[in-house]
Structure 1
Amino acid sequence: MDHLNLTWTQTFILDGFTTTGTLRPLAFLGTLCIYLLTLAGNLFIIVLVHADSGLSTPMYFFISVLSFLELWYVSTTVPTLLHTWLHGRSPIPSVACFLQLYVFHSLGMTECYLLGVMALDRYLAICRPLHYHALMSRQVQLWLAGATWVAGFSAALVPASLTATLPYCLKEVTHYFCDLAPLMRLACVDTSWHTRVYITVIGMINTCDLVIILGLYGGILRAVLKLPSAASRAKAFSTCSSHIIVVTLFFGSAFIVYVGPPEIRAEGRDKLIALVYTFLTPFFNPIIYTLRNKEVKEAVRRVIQRMRTVLKTP
């Protein structure tokens, strides 16, 4: 009980990145600009999907859900990163630290499930076109989207609760947010069992989901190669290319940090790699889904034209 009380009453110190002189304000301004652009880009996709009827398809519905998730995902960690850029080593109450840990991993696992659902949507659209709209009805879309959030927030309870009940002897977290490995280094006890549980839970979820995604894309590839013309094959592949890029960025960086060899997850390296999936991936997602997508560009033109018409109307 004393260990549990110690865990919940102490304050941790986030070290952030070690920068000095003029680099710190420049890093703060750069991070702030990318953060604001990330929020604006994901909000833009959400508004566009709901404003244009041409994007009222299951694929764009799930893209808007992904953008909504990314708004929360990036906002879970970047404010603490900005604070450490501005003030250096920053204290964070243990309750806030463990809450950040839980929310961050909940959203990460939700995105993992959501990327799998998006792959399923593309599989049904290409491999079952005649039954696609019946199989992916609005009710099914809402159910699948809701299920990803429930599954993500449920799965994260295991690593978050185990970490929160560890006894801690040290306070300095060598990271810019509260994550599993940096926190476990501060524990007073051997955490090898906890590490195995974390790798099993997070690794199994990510691995199973990735295997399912690869299996679905294997089916898509077989179906596309059977199409009669090169134009139809190119069109089918184009609807999947953006999702493939996002899957590669997300799963690649996540596996390196949480499942990769210990030397890669060493202090200092993990927070650099973490920038990819906590900061850069949410920033690039709107760019990937807009610049590489003709339908989105056409929807933007329609919305702008509609706005011009409304403004011209006396």
Structure 2
Amino acid sequence: MASRNRTEVTEFILLGLFNWPEMQPIIFVIVLAMYLVAVIGNTLLVIVAHSDTKLQTPMYFLLSQLSFIDIFLTTITVPQMLVHTMSVNRTISFNHCMVQLFFFMTVGSMEGHLLAAMAYDRYVALCDPLRYSAIVSHQLCLRITLTSWVIVSLNSFLYSVLVTHLTFCGNQVTHFFCDITPLLQLSFTRPVVNEMLIFTEGVAVVVSPFLFILGSYARIGVAIARMHSVAALRKALSTCSSHILVVLLLYGSVIRMYLRPSSSYDLDQDRQVAIFYTVVTPMLNPLIYSLRNQEVRGALQRLGKKLCISGNFQPGSQANRKWQHIS
């Protein structure tokens, strides 16, 4: 009987961000603008990190990976939400929902692992600068990135498989994408195993990078305190402030959303918090790193100059034709 009831749910209805039909056009315009800023800003960071010779360092390799993750994270959820916002049909097939759940959990967890790797990079740069190039290398960053992808993918696959075996008592999801929390709330049976995994695997995959970040900054703080130097403190703040702000933005919403008992879930508030880490945070990350980082600003300026020069002197350009006529 449970299996038959589960197979009856062949699609879900995503209720969206708000239950106010008159607000849908305004929501569409605002979210679309933020999505475009997030994609364009993170794409520019990826381009300059891989094309500018002055940014060919492990730190900017990790930053480019974080920007790639932000593009992927917001693209998994936002385009679908925009289509549903202006459409009467808000259904998503069961299989498509499970695929979206898998990729969202994978990419979301991967962001925390990258921030932990960036915290380690900052720790070595500030506490052991003479051996930085020997300790932190592109090969190490690549190994950390690939290992993290394997860990978060396996964890997300386990979650997705468990969700497919739940018995659902309806198909209306109080969210704008398929997330683990509203799907658990929609389950007919109490998903004890899933909840246990959230507080065990969730701690291992989500909280452990956060604890590693806290440990790295605690050691940085101890090292700076021993120096009794205002200059060292200023250098630490200028080096780590952007990263700390991004960590607070991410983990503030993640802890609020997932690391609490299911009895305290408020799905109406949760889907509004979800828009923060699926759209707002990916939009703010490139702004934070570009506005507070002179090297990134310089790389963006050099990229802009290259684009202007190539546009003015390409063979078919109007300026070039005018120059040839004068000659």
Q: Which moved more, 1:293-302 or 1:245-254?
A: 293-302
Q: Output the CA distance in 1 between the equivalents of 2:265 and 2:100.
A: 20
Partner of 1:217: 217
Unaligned runs of 5+ in 1: none
Are 2:173 and 2:183, in contact at CA under 8 Å, matched by a contact in 1?
A: yes
TM-score (norm 1): 0.92
Q: Which moved more, 1:70-79 or 1:149-158?
A: 149-158
Q: Superposition pairs for residues 121-160 of structure 1, below 5 Å?
A: 121-160=121-160
Once the two structures are TM-superposed, the CA of residue 4 in structure 1 deviates from its matched residue by: 7.2
Partner of 1:269: 269
Once the two structures are TM-superposed, the CA of residue 306 in structure 1 deviates from its matched residue by: 4.3
TM-score (norm 2): 0.89
The one-letter amino acid of 1:302's match is: R
Q: 1:88-133 CA deviation, whole Å, 9 max, x = no partner?
A: 5611000000111111001111111111111111111111211111
Q: Is 2:238 the counterpart of 1:238? A: yes
Partner of 1:19: 20
Q: Give 1 or 2 for the bigger CA radius of gyration.
A: 2
Q: Is 2:54 the counterpart of 1:54? A: yes
Q: 1:27-56 CA deviation, whole Å, 9 max, x = no partner?
A: 111111111111000001001111211111
Partner of 2:32: 32
Are 1:7 and 1:166, in contact at CA under 8 Å, matched by a contact in 2?
A: no
Instruction: Give the SS at the match of 1:12.
Output: strand
Instruction: Give the SS at the match of 2:98.
Output: helix
Partner of 1:120: 120
Q: Output the CA distance in 2 between the equivalents of 1:285 and 1:7.
A: 41
Give the 3 Å change call, closer, same or farther, for CA 309–10 of structure 1 in structure 2: closer
Once the two structures are TM-superposed, the CA of residue 76 in structure 1 deviates from its matched residue by: 0.8
The one-letter amino acid of 1:81's match is: M
The one-letter amino acid of 1:146's match is: L
Instruction: Give the SS at the match of 2:21.
Output: coil
The one-letter amino acid of 2:103's match is: V
Partner of 2:317: none
Q: Output the CA distance in 2 between the equivalents of 1:307 and 1:180.
A: 43
Q: 1:49-89 CA deviation, whole Å, 9 max, x = no partner?
A: 11211111111110000001111111111122212211256
Are 2:9 and 2:171, in contact at CA under 8 Å, matched by a contact in 1?
A: no
Partner of 1:86: 86
Once the two structures are TM-superposed, the CA of residue 148 in structure 1 deviates from its matched residue by: 1.8
Partner of 1:179: 179
Q: Is 2:285 the counterpart of 1:285? A: yes
Partner of 2:323: none
Q: Output the CA distance in 1 between the equivalents of 2:4 and 2:287.
A: 45
Q: Output the CA distance in 1 between the equivalents of 2:170 and 2:39.
A: 35
Once the two structures are TM-superposed, the CA of residue 305 in structure 1 deviates from its matched residue by: 4.0
Are 2:12 and 2:173, in contact at CA under 8 Å, matched by a contact in 1?
A: yes
Are 1:256 and 1:264, in contact at CA under 8 Å, matched by a contact in 2?
A: no
Give the 3 Å change call, closer, same or farther, for CA 8–121 of structure 1 in structure 2: farther
Are 1:113 and 1:209, in contact at CA under 8 Å, matched by a contact in 2?
A: yes
Give the 3 Å change call, closer, same or farther, for CA 271–264 of structure 1 in structure 2: farther
Once the two structures are TM-superposed, the CA of residue 194 in structure 1 deviates from its matched residue by: 2.1
The one-letter amino acid of 2:26's match is: L
The one-letter amino acid of 1:207's match is: V
Give the 3 Å change call, closer, same or farther, for CA 14–305 of structure 1 in structure 2: closer
Aligned pairs, how many? 313
Partner of 1:44: 44
The one-letter amino acid of 1:50's match is: H
Q: Output the CA distance in 2 between the equivalents of 1:110 and 1:178.
A: 18
What is the root-mean-square deviation in Å for CA atoms of aligned residues? 2.2
Instruction: Give the SS at the match of 2:246.
Output: helix
Give the 3 Å change call, closer, same or farther, for CA 302–227 of structure 1 in structure 2: farther
